[in-house]
């Protein structure tokens, strides 16, 4: 492995890790604040990708498609939260697992009914459809750099909201003691709806911007869900910071794993998780 190749891999790992962070941050927020384990999170990632593919086909413009798809994703989150999750907050995790598992079945099958089982792709949109010439035979896609930038900006945005705004104070307090926050007269109901919609929309948005980089397949949500679970477990459930570093770590492991240890590639992230759990059973940042 020469240096340029190593550098490209490093960038790929970083880009994948940042994308994972977008999905995992929603997952960890929804659990940390609402105490809900949302298995349908990966399905929303898939929905995001399909929405953008469909809208790009119809409108002929990727950016317009994203602008239209985001409110749809938020609305979907709103509907799911109000319709199904509302009654589950006080119940055992088992019921949340089962209900969101049921949602996966419904969403996955709805996807099949609406869009079919074919594999699709979205062209890399202008003005990012160029690549940088790194060495004579190594190029790097500008769109990947753009995705990195967007993810970093969003991560910074999330950090700022949680650290420096009144909403952030409520979110942090809610993660520590929900009942106390409610006792202080804050409408937890509305907060939950907001957190869930935003969290789910983040996952869908990750699917949207990832659409030009990956093939859009019916099962894409399931595999990313499990990876994000590993991220959240490693980082510590409910911790945004943990989700960030966990995502970077797993992104790197998934990128370098197949190159360095091909025989164990698919298991690397689980081995990392097992190692982390042995040392810190509650995750690195919890």
Among 75, 95, 123, 177, binds another protein (CB under 8 A): 95
If the CB atoms of residues 59 and 110 are measured against another protein, the closer one turns out to be 110
Q: How many residues bind another protein (CB under 8 A)?
A: 44
The residues near 17 (Cβ < 8 Å, ≥ 6 apart) are 247, 248, 249, 250, 251, 252
CB neighbours (10 Å) of residue 167? 13
Stretch that binds another protein, among 17-25, 58-66, 85-93, 142-150 (CB under 8 A): 85-93
Cα end-to-end span (Å), the chain: 36
Site string for another protein, 104-133 (x = CB under 8 A): xxx-xxx-xx--------------------
Alpha-carbon torsion angle 256, 259, 263, 268, nearest 10: 0
Site for another protein, residues 237 to 276, rule: CB under 8 A: 237, 265-267, 270-271, 273-274
Closer residue to another protein (CB): 116 or 185 = 116
How far CA 206 is from CA of 45, 46, 114, 136, 220, in Å, comes to: 6, 9, 21, 32, 12
Which one, 141 or 239, has the nearer CB to another protein?
Answer: 239
Burial bucket for residue 16 (CB in 10 Å: 0-12, 13-18, 19+):
buried
Between 55 and 234, whose beta carbon lies closer to another protein? Answer: 234
Q: Is 233 in the site for another protein (CB under 8 A)?
A: yes
Instruction: Say if CB 256 and CB 13 are below 8 A apart.
Output: yes
Nearest to another protein of 76, 209 (CB atom): 76
Where do the H-state alpha helices sit in 84-187? 93-115, 142-164, 166-176, 178-183
Which backbone phi and psi does 205 adopt, to 5 degrees? Answer: -65, -40
Residue closer to another protein by CB (options 132, 271) is 271
Provide the mask over 182-221, with x wherever binding to another protein is found by CB under 8 A and - wherever it is not. ----------------------------------------
Among 75, 79, 102, 153, binds another protein (CB under 8 A): 102
The Cβ-side half-sphere exposure at 41, using a 13 Å CA radius, reads 32
Asked if residue 26 lies in contact with residue 205, where contact means CB atoms within 8 angstroms, the answer is: no
Q: How far is the CB of 282 from another protein (least distance, A)?
A: 7
Closest CA to 189 of 43, 197, 96: 197
Which residues of this protein are in contact with another protein, per CB under 8 A? 31, 37, 39, 84, 87-88, 90-95, 97-99, 101-106, 108-110, 112-113, 222, 226, 229-230, 232-233, 237, 265-267, 270-271, 273-274, 277-278, 281-282
């Amino acid at each position: 492995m020469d240096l340029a190749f190593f550098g490209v891999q490093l960038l790929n790992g970083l880009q994948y890790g940042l994308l994972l962070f977008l999905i995992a941050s929603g997952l960890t927020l929804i659990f940390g604040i609402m105490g809900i384990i949302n298995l349908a999170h990966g399905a929303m990632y898939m929905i995001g990708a399909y929405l953008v593919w469909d809208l790009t086909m119809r409108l002929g413009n990727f950016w317009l498609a994203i602008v239209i798809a985001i409110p749809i994703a938020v609305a979907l989150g709103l509907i799911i939260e109000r319709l199904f999750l509302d009654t589950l907050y006080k119940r055992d995790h088992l019921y949340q697992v089962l209900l969101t598992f049921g949602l996966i079945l419904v969403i996955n099958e709805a996807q099949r009914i609406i869009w079919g089982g074919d594999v699709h792709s979205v062209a890399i949109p202008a003005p990012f459809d160029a690549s940088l010439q790194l060495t004579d035979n190594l190029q790097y896609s500008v769109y990947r750099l753009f995705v990195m930038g967007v993810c970093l900006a969003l991560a910074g945005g999330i950090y700022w909201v949680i650290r420096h705004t009144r909403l952030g104070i409520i979110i942090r307090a809610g993660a520590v003691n929900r009942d106390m926050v409610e006792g202080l007269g804050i409408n937890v109901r509305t907060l939950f709806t907001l957190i869930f919609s935003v969290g789910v929309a983040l996952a869908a948005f990750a699917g949207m911007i990832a659409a030009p980089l990956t093939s859009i397949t019916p099962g894409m949500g399931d595999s990313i869900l499990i990876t994000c679970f590993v991220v959240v477990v490693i980082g510590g459930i409910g911790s945004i910071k943990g989700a960030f570093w966990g995502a970077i770590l797993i992104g790197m492991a998934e990128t370098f794993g197949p190159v360095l240890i091909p025989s164990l590639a698919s298991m690397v992230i689980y081995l990392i998780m097992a190692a982390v759990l042995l040392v810190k059973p509650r995750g690195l940042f919890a």
